[in-house]
Structures are given as C-alpha cells and as structure tokens.
Amino acid sequence: DAKTTQPNSMESNEEEPVHLPCNHSTISGTDYIHWYRQLPSQGPEYVIHGLTSNVNNRMASLAIAEDRKSSTLILHRATLRDAAVYYCILRGQETSGSRLTFGEGTQLTVNP
C-alpha cells in the first residue's frame, strides 16, 4: 500500500483555521487522496477526497500540491466537535484495491 505520513497530533483554538498536512511521496497517478476522521467512540466519517485539483465541500477544503506528493486538509473554522483523529488515505486501483488502509492519523485537539 502507498504510505502516507501525518503528524501524530496537532492543536488548534476554536474558530481558528486548521491545516492538517499529509505527505504521500509514493503516490501513483491514479491514486485518489481521501480524508476521513474518527470522533471518540464513533465510526470513521468521510470528510473529502480529490485527485489533482483542490476540492471544497461543506465540511472542509482539500489542497493538493502540484506534484501530488503532499496535501493539506483545511478546516476553515474549527469547532469543539472537530476534535477527532484525521486520516489521510490513498485509494487507487493499483495501490489499495477496494480497501481503505487506516494509519495512525493526526489527533486534533481543539481548545475552547
């Protein structure tokens, strides 16, 4: 499986933007970059995904580097409810098949 590297933990203050980085230097041309999060005692929750272009949805934005070797998940205004583990996962025909391979992720703490 193509690997991703994320910081173990990050902290933010409520109502401030949060930028969660992910490195994926071995990404292949057909890999999608997926982000999921897991709130305490809940199942993983889809956040956003993209291939080459930056993406926005109601939850977050995904900024993808031009060479696709890194990406950043952007939460525009963090809330206490955004405290979770965030996972950056590559998903592609050759890389992962149909599975999502969860790593350790980034534990995001949001301070009031």
- In the complex, which residues of this chain contact other proteins (CB under 8 A)? 32, 34, 38, 42-46, 49, 91-93, 97-104
State how far the Cα of 22 lies from the Cα of 18, in Å rounded to an integer: 13
Minimum distance from CB of 20 to other proteins (Å)?
18
Nearer to other proteins, 21 or 92 (CB): 92
| Cα–Cα nearest to 36, from 98, 93, 90 | 90
Nearer to other proteins, 67 or 98 (CB): 98
Minimum distance from CB of 15 to other proteins (Å)?
25
Minimum distance from CB of 39 to other proteins (Å)?
11
Task: Confirm if 38 and 44 have CB atoms less than 8 A apart.
Answer: yes
The token pair at 34 is 């997926």
Distance of CA 9 to the CA centre of its chain: 13
Nearer to other proteins, 12 or 33 (CB): 33
